[in-house]
Amino acid sequence: MEERCASHDRPFVLEETTIAAIHEAMLDGRLSCRRLVEGYLARIEAYDKKGPNLNAIILVNPHALEEADRLDARMEQDGLTGPLHGIPILLKDNVETYDMPTTAGSLSLENFETHKDAWIVKKMREAGAVILAKTNLHEFAVWGETVSSILGQTYNPYDHTRTPGGSSGGTGAGLAANFGVAGIGTDTINSIRSPSSANSLVGIRPTIGLVSRDGIVPYSLTQDTAGPLARTVADAARVLDVIAGCDPKDPVTESCIGRVPPSYLDSLNDDGLRGRRIGVLRSFFGTKDIHRDVNAAMEHCLDIMRENGAEVVDIEETIDSGYLVKNVSVHIHDLKTHLGQYLAAFGDAAPVHSLADVLASGKYHPGLKSNLDEAMGYDVGTPVYNERLRQRAELQKQILAIMDKYQVDAIVYPHQKQLVCKVGKSQEERNGVIGSVSGYPAIVVPAGFSEPSDDAPIGVPIGMEMLGRPFTEPALIEIAYGFEQHSHLRRPPVSTPALNR
């Protein structure tokens, strides 16, 4: 989409645009919010259920154009109304909106409306955002392939034979295909960073306590958080500015008081790598032929860091991400209790009130049954659960000790040792568990692509993850932005080209 006016000859190009570029075009009269929203709606119409059939969108907001018109009217009167004025947001459908259903991807919650906005949605609307659409997710955010009973499988726009990662894969695939400007995912084990890695995006998993979970369907409140996905570090930082902060309805966010900077945009330093010391967690790299493409991309990224002023050191200690998933993470142990508490609080307004009700209804994807059955056998507060919490605390100490020993600002590693999995398979060797179990912040940035193939014309995206100490999002953003400015590894998929309008 190109937008021109008589007094400005410079066109506005929708594909791969940024929040800053949109606001510049709005301020000089080249773009309205209505035209922007119409442009994204046209792309969703062309590519989500047609063309490459990405199947990323559960529901388009029926009020999106009305909201755009309201924002345009306010723009004429008052100028930009907030840092996200007119910005179309893709929202994972386990986050409540007052004007649309919230299904968590499950037929058991079809048409379920809470009639309120989640805290982060309220903050985004106050900042001027348009919630453009609710996106598909792996049902109840339980796993990483983005398959749900409400919509089915979402496909990777770079390789239709592969999944888009997950569980926030609808947001990831939609942003990669330019269905919106930025988006929201939730992350219990890998679920913001996995689709970011698989779709050549930036994804931020904030420190537990930086972003409220109020109004988000829970999986594991011990590990759950929400965060932004975007095509650039700057756009992710702009969204984080809006959604970070203390919310009395989520008491864990009291820990962020005094630890939120005036703006994460202050960390957008072109020279953000210079003088930084980066630790490479070599135990999170694979050693087999299947890992070759990822390892090659990572070595290229490390070279870019060195060339632009970072000191890169190998971390000798071994951490086993598979062990953390199987023996330390409490996600599956929390699910029955935390989801049940959430559903029960709605009383008769909710169609189901517990995990047992979901199972009894039969209204869930068959592939989810083993996970739900397993969760029914666990509970919080058991000796096994408490032992996992003990190991969690040990991991937190271990990470800080490693960072102190090597005097590093961040630890880097591939988000996934091998490429994102094919449709019908399960994700393997994802490394994001270190951030989700510890609760420490992590950012994924585009790290390049695999070798091209018939199924993946420009290759399959690969993501690099950066882990930091608690509440060091400013430092991580500075490193990520500095890397991005010197690497420029994001590329849009060829399956969803610009429309002729």
Contacts of 244 by beta carbon, 8 Å cutoff, 6+ apart:
206, 210, 211, 256, 260, 264, 473
Strand, coil or helix: 54 = coil
Single-letter residue type at 157: P
pTM score above 0.95: yes
List strand residue ranges (DSSP E) for 169-238, in order.
Answer: 182-187, 202-205, 225-230
9, burial (CB in 10 Å: exposed 0-12, middle 13-18, buried 19+):
exposed
Q: What is the mean pLDDT of residues 5-17?
A: 77
Asked if 137 and 168 touch (Cβ cutoff 8 Å), the reply is yes
Residue 8 has pLDDT above 60, yes or no: no
Q: To the nearest 10°, the Cα dihedral for 319, 226, 183, 460?
A: 20
Asked if 241 and 263 touch (Cβ cutoff 8 Å), the reply is yes
- Res. 3 pLDDT band, cuts 50 70 90: very low
Q: pLDDT digit string (tens) for 95-123?
A: 999 999 999 999 999 999 999 999 999 99
The DSSP symbol for 3 reads: E
Catalytic residue among 32, 108, 148, 191: 191
What is the length of the chain? Answer: 501
Catalytic residue among 167, 194, 436, 438: 167
Q: Is 397 a catalytic residue?
A: no
Cα→Cα distances 132→99, 100, 150, 354, Å: 12, 11, 19, 30
Q: What is the residue-wise DSSP string for 225-268?
A: EEEEEESSHHHHHHHHHHHBS--TTSGGGGGGTT-S-S-GGGG-
Catalytic residue among 32, 92, 148, 168: 92
Q: Is 167 a catalytic residue?
A: yes
Q: Is 92 a catalytic residue?
A: yes
- Res. 63 pLDDT band, cuts 50 70 90: very high
Residue given tokens 């019908």 in the structure block: 424
Residue 406 has pLDDT above 50, yes or no: yes
Spatial distance between the Cα atoms of 501 and 482, rounded to a whole number of angstroms = 35
Spatial distance between the Cα atoms of 467 and 431, rounded to a whole number of angstroms = 11
Would you state the pLDDT for residue 5?
A: 41
> What phi, psi does 473 have (nearest 5°)?
-55, -40
Would you state the pLDDT for residue 6?
A: 39
Q: What is the residue-wise DSSP string for 335-400?
A: HHHHHHHHHHTTGGGSS--SHHHHHHHT-S-GGGHHHHHHHHT--TTSHHHHHHHHHHHHHHHHHH
Contacts of 84 by beta carbon, 8 Å cutoff, 6+ apart:
19, 124, 127, 128, 129, 238, 239, 242
Spatial distance between the Cα atoms of 357 and 421, rounded to a whole number of angstroms = 31
Q: pLDDT digit string (tens) for 197-241?
A: 999 999 999 999 999 999 999 999 999 999 999 999 999 999 999
Buried b (16+ CB within 10 A) or exposed e, 46-83: ebbeeebebbbbbbbbeebeebbeebbebbeeeeebbb
Mean pLDDT of the chain: 97
In the chain, the percentage of residues whose pLDDT exceeds 70 is: 98
- Res. 58 pLDDT band, cuts 50 70 90: very high
Asked if 177 and 255 touch (Cβ cutoff 8 Å), the reply is no
Residue 174 has pLDDT above 60, yes or no: yes
What is the CATH number assigned to the segment(s) 13-487? 3.90.1300.10
Both structure tokens of 368:
């989810």
Q: pLDDT digit string (tens) for 332-375?
A: 999 999 999 999 999 999 999 999 999 999 999 999 999 999 99
- Res. 91 pLDDT band, cuts 50 70 90: very high
Question: In the chain, what are the domain boundaries?
Answer: 13-487
Spatial distance between the Cα atoms of 304 and 281, rounded to a whole number of angstroms = 17
Residue 7 has pLDDT above 80, yes or no: no
Both structure tokens of 339:
């989801």
Q: pLDDT digit string (tens) for 246-286?
A: 999 999 999 999 999 999 999 999 999 999 999 999 999 99
Would you state the pLDDT for residue 1?
A: 58
Would you state the pLDDT for residue 10?
A: 81
Residue 15 has pLDDT above 90, yes or no: yes
Residue 383 has pLDDT above 50, yes or no: yes
Helix (H) or strand (E) holding 89: strand 88-92
User: 3-class secondary structure for 93-143?
Assistant: CCECECCECCCCCCHHHCCCCCCCCCHHHHHHHHCCCEEEEEECCCHHHCC
Contacts of 384 by beta carbon, 8 Å cutoff, 6+ apart:
333, 378
Spatial distance between the Cα atoms of 276 and 295, rounded to a whole number of angstroms = 22
Contacts of 364 by beta carbon, 8 Å cutoff, 6+ apart:
106, 107, 108, 139, 140, 149, 358, 372
Cα→Cα distances 488→68, 202, 214, 276, 301, Å: 31, 12, 35, 19, 11
Would you state the pLDDT for residue 500?
A: 83
Asked if 481 and 267 touch (Cβ cutoff 8 Å), the reply is yes
